[in-house]
A = this chain, B = another copy of it.
């Protein structure tokens, strides 16, 4: 169950426990993408994963527990950030990863399902929030490097810049406004760089 990249069929090393987890999370992702959160059922997921029902109940307990673990796994498997030597290059790489993920039928449906679930399930909301925290933390250093290179002003909020790249792509996914194509990804990166250069993401803007 990879976010942006690794083959979703890949079974990670670690013996039977890890294989069971990989199978169950893959089945949960498939079920979410196909039918949404409302129809998620642990017994059905156990069947899809060819794993004993009691194993699934014992390990994950509830559907929300399973989705939280799925999001943790997606965060753990996120691709590491690319370093291109310029902020625009780095943010375009990030934007294209997000765009490819959201435009992918299975992954896009999966994200829609999890975001929808998070609107009414506190535990899923926490897990989703944590997922984005990990993703943002992974990419934030490229903004610090841009500050060090003098590309954007000292005091730029690196986390806000990374979120600004994702926001218009998620907005397209969820409101159906505009295409989720590479042009959208590049535009998101270019807009974030221009805004950061102009000081729109300075941490304490009252001091400027």
Cα(A160)–Cα(B195), bound, Å: 15
Closest to A169 in B: B167
Apart from A36-B119, A195-B195: 13 A-B pairs, beta carbons within 8 A: A112-B120, A115-B116, A115-B174, A118-B176, A128-B175, A128-B176, A136-B177, A160-B178, A171-B171, A187-B200, A191-B191, A191-B192, A194-B195
0/1 interface trace, chain A 70-100, chain B, CB 8 Å (1 if under) = 0000000000000000000000000000000
Chain B residues with Cβ below 8 Å from A197 are 194, 198
| A168 in contact (CB, < 8 A) | yes
| A23 in contact (CB, < 8 A) | no
Cα(A3)–Cα(B113), bound, Å: 25
Chain B residues with Cβ below 8 Å from A117 are 116
Cα(A177)–Cα(B134), bound, Å: 12
23 A-B contact pairs sorted by A residue (CB < 8 Å): A36-B120, A38-B38, A38-B120, A112-B120, A113-B120, A115-B115, A118-B176, A119-B174, A126-B176, A128-B176, A129-B175, A129-B177, A132-B175, A163-B171, A166-B171, A167-B168, A167-B170, A170-B174, A183-B205, A190-B200, A191-B192, A191-B195, A191-B201
| A68 in contact (CB, < 8 A) | no
| A164 in contact (CB, < 8 A) | yes
| A125 in contact (CB, < 8 A) | yes
Within 8 A of B (CB), among A149-183: 160, 163-164, 166-168, 170-171, 174-178, 183
Contact between A120 and B129, CB atoms less than 8 A apart: no
Give chain A's interface secondary structure class.
helix
Contact between A191 and B164, CB atoms less than 8 A apart: yes
Chain B residues with Cβ below 8 Å from A168 are 163-164, 167
Chain B residues with Cβ below 8 Å from A112 are 119-120
- What 9 A-B pairs come out closest when comparing CB atoms? A194-B198, A191-B195, A116-B116, A167-B171, A112-B119, A191-B200, A129-B176, A167-B167, A167-B168
Contact between A174 and B118, CB atoms less than 8 A apart: yes
